[in-house]
Amino acid sequence: MDRWSRLNSQVVACAKCPRLREYCEGVAKVKRRAYLNWDYWGKPVPNFGDPTARLLIVGLAPAAHGANRTGRLFTGDRSGDWLYRALHKAGFANRPDATSVDDGLTLYDCAITAVCHCAPPDNKPTSGELAQCQLWLERTLDLVQPRVLLALGQIAWNETVSHLLRCGWLAGKRPKFRHGALTPLVQERWLAGSYHPSQQNTFTGRLTEPMFDEVFSRIVTLLNVSA
């Protein structure tokens, strides 16, 4: 088993947060009416994509009836519709949508992780649960060694910044989150920020498709410069 597969197996087997495990398993049993025929995943959701990628996307957590159902990050919900559409347009994905683990979706030069690998109630993991999941973010960054990290939302940004400060990839003042933020890291690496493509942001117009596409356009430019 390679390092990426081994790491993902360890993530799936994690049982450090009883509240989250109970919630995910409960959702998988009760299900949503639209998905009664689905065999819900109901476990921690592993990383997805290319372990040698130059772009690593850091999300918040699986959606209860999205990735907690399908077993793949940003798959089966509207946030994923936005993300994979943008990745496809930017050349990081072979298709613009994600419906299930066997839909044929492939990522190019891109990997996706999360600061919390279990679906939390109300999409709000506690600070203690985020701390328990930091190990998986650390191991993912150590394995992938990306050129650009994209944090989706303020929580993902804060957790990523905390690790970058600890591991020495980031020095100086703690950068503040904003949409479109770009912070230089060591060895010509970058930390980028975007609003999360959640319905809370997309339905209200806080995040539009042109805004989201521009973030990926800038990332492509950064990667082309560092190629």
pLDDT at 138: 96
For residues 89 and 115, give the distance between their C-alpha atoms in angstroms, rounded to a whole number.
25
Helix residue ranges per DSSP H, 146-208: 154-167, 199-202
pLDDT at 227: 62
Q: Which two structure tokens, joined as six digits, stand for 164?
A: 């970058």
For residues 1 and 179, give the distance between their C-alpha atoms in angstroms, rounded to a whole number.
38
Res. 1 pLDDT band, cuts 50 70 90? low
Q: Which two structure tokens, joined as six digits, stand for 78?
A: 């509207």
Considering the chain, what percentage of its residues have pLDDT values greater than 90? 97
CATH label, 3-226, candidates 3.40.30.10, 3.40.50.300, 3.40.470.10, 2.60.40.420: 3.40.470.10
- Residue 224 makes CB contacts below 8 A (sequence gap 6+) with none
pLDDT at 226: 63
Report in angstroms the alpha-carbon separations of 159 from 60, 61, 116, 156, 162. Answer: 9, 12, 10, 5, 5
187: left (phi over 0), alpha (psi -120 to 50) or beta: left
Structure confidence by residue, pLDDT tens digits, 149-198:
999 999 999 999 999 999 999 988 999 999 999 999 999 999 999 999 99
pLDDT at 172: 87
Q: Which two structure tokens, joined as six digits, stand for 86?
A: 């943008």
Considering the chain, what percentage of its residues have pLDDT values greater than 70? 99
Domain positions in the chain are 3-226
pLDDT value at 210 more than 80: yes
pLDDT value at 63 more than 70: yes
Res. 21 pLDDT band, cuts 50 70 90? very high
Average pLDDT (19-40) is 96
Res. 61 pLDDT band, cuts 50 70 90? very high
Average pLDDT (205-214) is 98
- Residue 128 makes CB contacts below 8 A (sequence gap 6+) with 17
| pTM confidence score | 0.97
Q: Which two structure tokens, joined as six digits, stand for 205?
A: 């117009």
Average pLDDT (190-214) is 98
